[in-house]
Chains A and B, each alone.
Chain A
């Protein structure tokens, strides 16, 4: 039972470079999410997806792009990384249904440093 996996675990990049963070889940959950975690801000939603080919912005979407061509994958791309995007990024998934869609399952996170 692999669950939800993120890669890479750690990434260092330079300002202006494009970076893609990967997220893969084996449960066939409909919903997938990207959150970023910063000190003092908790977890903030970047983008989410209700199903393949359906994505929507969250609270802090600027500078990020997502796609979801397959149910199991939900990559997050920083088109031109900035220092303010240094953060820990978490992917999560859930399945629809009363009492279920709010139970998120998180990956272990990607720690991204933009120099």
Chain B
């Protein structure tokens, strides 16, 4: 079945540093999504990508839809303490409208 693998599993960085994380799959996805989960809350959609090669920004966040359609990347520039949380990539399950599969998440810690 479809699976999404995220790396790294966790990151400990200093405030102000840039962050990169990625998500890979053995299957092709037509849509890539990035969600963020703040501690004690449910995930919230950050960025949605719909086209291979697409690069989309949301403030200090930039995500890319890989050209092979089997991967996606999320970058955070100049991290701040409120960037702390778990970042999930997700993609729609093939031919099952509305259902998403999620990666295992990348847990980000930012030291002030």
Contacts and interface: CB of A to CB of B under 8 A. Distances in A.
Interface of A: 31, 33, 35, 40-45, 48, 50, 58-59, 90, 92, 94, 96, 99, 101-109
A109 B98 contact: no
Contacts of B6: 42
Interface of B is mostly: strand
B77 to A, nearest CB: 24
B86 to A, nearest CB: 9
Given A43-B102, A102-B33, 11 more contacts: A42-B103, A42-B104, A45-B100, A48-B99, A50-B98, A94-B98, A102-B100, A103-B33, A108-B40, A108-B41, A109-B42
A92 B44 CA distance: 10
Interface in B45-101: 45, 48, 50, 88, 90, 92, 97-101
The listed residue with most B CB atoms (<10 A of its CB), out of A96, A102, A103, A109, is A102
A41 B41 CA distance: 17
Contacts of B101: 45, 59
Specify which of A31, A41, A43 lies most central, judged by the most chain B CB atoms within 10 Å of its CB.
A43
A99 B48 contact: yes
